[in-house]
Amino acid sequence: MSLANGKTLNLLKKNGMSGTFFWTGSPKDSKLNGGHLVMQDNKELNINGHVTNYNGLKRGVLIFDGKNVIFKRIYNIKAEYQGNIKWAIGGLSLYPFYNPTAEGFTGQYADVLKKTNHSAIGVSNGGKIYLISVKNRTVNEFRNDMLNSKLGFKALINLDGGGTTQMYFDKSIISSTRGLNHFIEVI
């Protein structure tokens, strides 16, 4: 996980994918973009980056402890997880748990579920980590596509999508002009 400081992946020329939810009105401001779990090397990338939202609801989180990727539904990683955190990122659980209402994606936040571009991070039964971006799918369609694929996910979470969806690998891009707060960097 790395900070993008309001830049696109295309401008940064960094291999990776857009990360979890953030306030698009000021992507550079780490104080305004807290409350969405994103951590690197046991440190929060934004203020309150140890919680998944401001409503106290448990959401899906993938944690890499240096050896294994662990899926947990948590609200506060500091209170609910005691191990090492090489990196961690939170979002809408797609698998093995899936209940957008329980995770607070209702009302003004239900737009996450609509037909648009979507991004996800998942781990297969074999331990491989996948970064996935798709165009013009609902969350339900996206989830079903991933679970019916041959990748064999043991855990999958939906990240920020829509106009935020970006991926950059060796000059091959899926991009938007929206600056990012942070991204999943592939080294």
Beta pairing, strands 38-40 & 87-95: antiparallel
- Structural domain contains residue 165: yes
Round the average pLDDT of the chain to a whole number and report it: 89
Judge whether 123 lies within some domain.
yes
Backbone phi and psi for residue 75, each to the nearest 5 degrees, phi listed first: -105, -50
| pLDDT one-digit tens code per residue, 71-86 | 999 999 999 999 999 9
Residue 98 sits in which domain range?
Answer: 2-34+91-185
Domain count within the chain? 1
Structural domain includes residue 80: no
Domain assignment present for 178: yes
Phi, psi (deg, nearest 5) at residue 82: -105, -5
Terminal alpha carbon distance of the chain: 10
**Would you say residue 96 has pLDDT above 80?**
yes
Residue 77: inside a domain? no
Domain for residue 50, yes or no?
no
Report yes or no on 85 lying in a domain.
no
120 located within any domain: yes
> Tell me: the pLDDT tens digits for 112-126?
999 999 999 999 999
